[in-house]
Structure 1
Amino acid sequence: MSGNFFQGSIPSSFGNLKSLEILDLSRNNLSGIIPYELRNLSRLKSLNLSFNHLHGEVPTGGVFSNTTALSLHGNEDFCGGIPQLKMPACPVLHLKKHKKPLQLKVILIIVVTGVLLCTIASVIILYMMKKPKRLSSGTSNLEDRLLMVSYGELYEATNGFSSTNLIGTGGFGSVYKGTLRCFNKPVAVKVLNLQTRGASKSFVVECRALAKVRHRNLMKILTCCSSIDYKGADFKALVFEFMPNGSLENWLHNEEQPDSGDLNLNLRQRLNVAIDIAQALDYLHSGCMEIIVHCDIKPSNIFLDDDMVAHLGDFGLARLLDEDKGNGNREQATSSLVKGTIGYIPPEYGMGGTVSAEGDIYSYGILLLEMITGKKPTDNMFSENLSLHNMCKMTLSEGLIEQVDPLLQVKSDNTIREALVSFARIGVASSSEIPSERMGIKDVIMELLAINRRLSCLQGIKVVTQN
């Protein structure tokens, strides 16, 4: 039952399936807590609940006492469980109703006193610390729910924004790896170059967009900083979870890293990345209060975590389209305000068209074709008469095998060849020059999942990486 977009909570009635041995509910949209009844399934040998929206206490006993049989990755706010899971203790949320009145009064007095003392201490600490500038009104909601950090803390976390900590550069700034005292994992600090035209606006846009989203395939923002540096200049930065496996760009094109020749993704991994990003776009386009158009889908904006799960990042060019405002929002959506990246920009933007979800689909289609061929849309082989889209479209009928990335050494297995052609066909259909003819993102997801299921039926996938 993995990857089927199931929603809601896990039924407690599953605890009655006494003969159940394997239960895989991973990669769905399940929420709520884990039913305690599952620990009573004595024959359950494998339980996979990874990549959902589950939370709360992890039961103990049964399959929950065997870490090798249990997978909980990709969820948030779990607590409890056996010590080997290394999860935080669950908080005590309420008092038991059978407490005596006198005991209840004493406990309430202690709690109120503790809260007052903590509040007073917090006020004193904040008064003594140099407060950073407030963000603009467009980012106030984000500040309200994120821990504020100072320029000094980020300076210390990145060793003074040292070049040895630099992990990437973009149109509006640079990204550094760092370690914050208040966070026990490495972080990525995106420092805006405010001398670049549009950088300040990009900061506000990215904050506004990220304040509205929460999805396992989107980069998770930890905090933001709008302050001044040690020279008295304005300073703006965003702090994200660090992605240890870097960007998709590094995996597809590592010519600039000669010592990284072993970087390669097999067909199954590329397919999983495609599914992850499609699900992120589906959420942005139809799962939020406002339609969010990313406007810069490309490999360098896709990042891979420890488990090779893909996360879409860099919302500096994003547009929030409020359908209720109609033409009142047309100015914000005008394509002349969008720069994007050459090779991925949909053709209608260059002809005065407005920003739309279909524009993201076009960029995504080009991304799929780049993943399957290993060729950038700006490769020297392409000209006005030949593009990545046209090349793949013309060779689909011939099986496309000659255009497949040479790092994918494909043996003559019909299932593999059909999967490659289907993958490319989705990319071609998504990157049509006519917006109305592009595949819908939900159809894209269904087609990719179908390919994934066909590959899963093989005893051993016959796609290997090149040594």
Structure 2
Amino acid sequence: MLTIWKKGSFPFSRWDLVSKMFPNRREVHTAPCHDEKKLKRVSYEDILKATNWFSLVHTISSTCIGSVYVGRFKSDKSLVAIKVFNLNEPGGYESYLIECEVLRSTRHRNIMRHVTLCSTLDSQNHECNALIFEVMVNGSLEAWLHSEQHNGILDKVLSFGQRIRIAADVAFALDYAHNELTPPLIHCDLKPNNVLLDDDMTARLSDFGSAKFLSPGLVIPKSLHDVGGTIGYVAPEYRMGCEISVGGDVYSFGVLLLELLTGKRPTDDMFVDGLSLCKFCESKFPDRVAEILDPHMSHEEHQGCAEGWIQRYIVPLVALGLSCTVESPKDRTGMKDVCAKLSDIRASFL
């Protein structure tokens, strides 16, 4: 599902526009539970009015499978993100169903929460399914790591401390999904576009349209299309038709962690002739890891002791990213251990 939190990230210029459109934004409060019967329902007409009849200026992203809009409901004036699924396209209805199931089954501070939903008929008696979420005003991690629009403006560049916190937030979400849910939940499409940042830069894992519950009857995928996922982040075993496992998410997390440190996408033009982000980091580890760091990353408080800072924080983080991206899924570090190591590093730094 290509959405606001997948490939259509919040560019900063668009959020400046949103702020002008909705100057008196209020915090949206989550429903007290995920029981659909207790959620406030909204009608198709409510969505039409909130999005000004699906106007372009309200559109955050749009693909053949669905679109995401920003709007405000007349009833409470809260600014929300409205994810409307295109049920005429293959996979549209399935994405809606799995997202609903995930939202019903999960409750965690680092997983996107829905405010309410809409399942009704539109003006032409076609089925309309939509999910309504809190707006994450700081957009996606993708935009912060790679948007050319920040042009070096300091408040649009992630500090090292922010990167550690974001990595830990994502790890906590995955640990919850893998180890606290029964059956375990596999995201299957972890990447910076699917990590959203709220007002205080807390990360929320989003877009579960490709997710799978690891139940005994889960069919082994025959192709990458069956798994979902994105080139550069998808685990190598999925390309060989192996079964879906928590190890696939661990691999994607390792890539994301290395991307946070380097500022380089796994699909960067420099990665050719067998060189990958993981191999690039491995080739510099441990003695030359300073060479892989994102030059935009700020860590002013440690400039006077750069070598000590690298040995204390960067080397362990790169080692953790590499341990998550080893070839064999059974040899990858589990998310519970990842959380423990990140928590120690974060506590030491902060």
State the alpha-carbon separation in 2 of the partners of residues 195 and 260 from structure 1: 42
Paired letter, 1:202: S
Equivalent runs, 1:146-157 vs 2, <5 Å: 146-157=39-50
Match of 2:324 among 394, 412, 430: 430
State the alpha-carbon separation in 2 of the partners of residues 287 and 177 from structure 1: 32
State the alpha-carbon separation in 2 of the partners of residues 366 and 232 from structure 1: 44
1:463 alignment counterpart? none
State the alpha-carbon separation in 2 of the partners of residues 370 and 266 from structure 1: 14
Once the two structures are TM-superposed, the CA of residue 361 in structure 1 deviates from its matched residue by: 0.5
State the alpha-carbon separation in 2 of the partners of residues 405 and 201 from structure 1: 38
1:389 alignment counterpart? 278
State the alpha-carbon separation in 1 of the partners of residues 74 and 318 from structure 2: 46
Paired letter, 2:254: G
Equivalent runs, 1:262-281 vs 2, <5 Å: 262-281=155-174
1:207 alignment counterpart? 100
Once the two structures are TM-superposed, the CA of residue 178 in structure 1 deviates from its matched residue by: 1.1
1:90 alignment counterpart? none
3-state SS in 2 of match to 1:201: helix
Query: Is residue 281–residue 441 contact of structure 1 (8 Å, CA) maintained in 2?
Result: yes
2:242 alignment counterpart? 353
State the alpha-carbon separation in 1 of the partners of residues 257 and 168 from structure 2: 10
Structure 1: 5+ residue stretches without partners: 1-72, 79-140, 457-467
3-state SS in 2 of match to 1:408: coil
Q: Report the TM-score, using the length of structure 2 for normalisation.
A: 0.84
3-state SS in 2 of match to 1:375: coil
Query: Is residue 416–residue 455 contact of structure 1 (8 Å, CA) maintained in 2?
Result: no
Q: Which has the larger radius of gyration?
A: 1
Task: Pick closer, same or farther for the CA change 1:172–1:240 going to 2, 3 Å.
Answer: same
1:295 aligns with 2:188: yes
Task: Pick closer, same or farther for the CA change 1:348–1:384 going to 2, 3 Å.
Answer: farther
1:362 aligns with 2:256: no
Once the two structures are TM-superposed, the CA of residue 187 in structure 1 deviates from its matched residue by: 0.8
Once the two structures are TM-superposed, the CA of residue 258 in structure 1 deviates from its matched residue by: 5.8
- Residues 179-204 of structure 1, C-alpha deviations (whole Å, 9 max, x = no match): 12344531111111334321111111
Once the two structures are TM-superposed, the CA of residue 222 in structure 1 deviates from its matched residue by: 1.3
3-state SS in 2 of match to 1:365: helix
3-state SS in 2 of match to 1:422: helix
1:420 alignment counterpart? 314
- Residues 137-157 of structure 1, C-alpha deviations (whole Å, 9 max, x = no match): xxxx85323222111101111
Paired letter, 1:264: V
State the alpha-carbon separation in 1 of the partners of residues 203 and 30 from structure 2: 17
1:334 aligns with 2:228: no
Paired letter, 2:221: T
Once the two structures are TM-superposed, the CA of residue 450 in structure 1 deviates from its matched residue by: 1.4
- Residues 411-456 of structure 1, C-alpha deviations (whole Å, 9 max, x = no match): 3423421212221211111111210111111111111111112213
Once the two structures are TM-superposed, the CA of residue 355 in structure 1 deviates from its matched residue by: 0.9
Relative contact order, higher structure (CA 8 A, sep 6+): 2
2:348 alignment counterpart? 454
State the alpha-carbon separation in 2 of the partners of residues 439 and 259 from structure 1: 36
State the alpha-carbon separation in 1 of the partners of residues 110 and 317 from structure 2: 20
Equivalent runs, 1:304-315 vs 2, <5 Å: 304-315=197-208
2:339 alignment counterpart? 445
Percent identical pairs in the alignment equals: 41
State the alpha-carbon separation in 1 of the partners of residues 200 and 221 from structure 2: 38
1:344 aligns with 2:243: no
Once the two structures are TM-superposed, the CA of residue 293 in structure 1 deviates from its matched residue by: 0.5
Query: Is residue 324–residue 333 contact of structure 2 (8 Å, CA) maintained in 1?
Result: yes
Task: Pick closer, same or farther for the CA change 1:279–1:171 going to 2, 3 Å.
Answer: farther
Equivalent runs, 1:372-387 vs 2, <5 Å: 372-387=261-276
Match of 1:404 among 293, 318, 323: 293
State the alpha-carbon separation in 1 of the partners of residues 182 and 280 from structure 2: 38
3-state SS in 2 of match to 1:187: strand
Once the two structures are TM-superposed, the CA of residue 233 in structure 1 deviates from its matched residue by: 3.2
State the alpha-carbon separation in 2 of the partners of residues 345 and 282 from structure 1: 18
Paired letter, 1:192: F
State the alpha-carbon separation in 1 of the partners of residues 55 and 86 from structure 2: 15
Match of 2:142 among 223, 226, 249: 249
Query: Is residue 142–residue 208 contact of structure 1 (8 Å, CA) maintained in 2?
Result: no
State the alpha-carbon separation in 2 of the partners of residues 343 and 178 from structure 1: 33
Q: Report the TM-score, using the length of structure 1 for normalisation.
A: 0.63
1:16 alignment counterpart? none
CA RMSD of aligned residues (A): 2.4
Paired letter, 1:388: L
State the alpha-carbon separation in 1 of the partners of residues 309 and 117 from structure 2: 45
Match of 2:71 among 174, 178, 194: 178
Once the two structures are TM-superposed, the CA of residue 242 in structure 1 deviates from its matched residue by: 0.8
Once the two structures are TM-superposed, the CA of residue 177 in structure 1 deviates from its matched residue by: 1.0
Equivalent runs, 1:111-130 vs 2, <5 Å: none
State the alpha-carbon separation in 2 of the partners of residues 171 and 400 from structure 1: 42
Query: Is residue 245–residue 304 contact of structure 1 (8 Å, CA) maintained in 2?
Result: yes
State the alpha-carbon separation in 1 of the partners of residues 38 and 247 from structure 2: 32
Task: Pick closer, same or farther for the CA change 1:319–1:300 going to 2, 3 Å.
Answer: same
Once the two structures are TM-superposed, the CA of residue 260 in structure 1 deviates from its matched residue by: 8.3
Matched length: 315
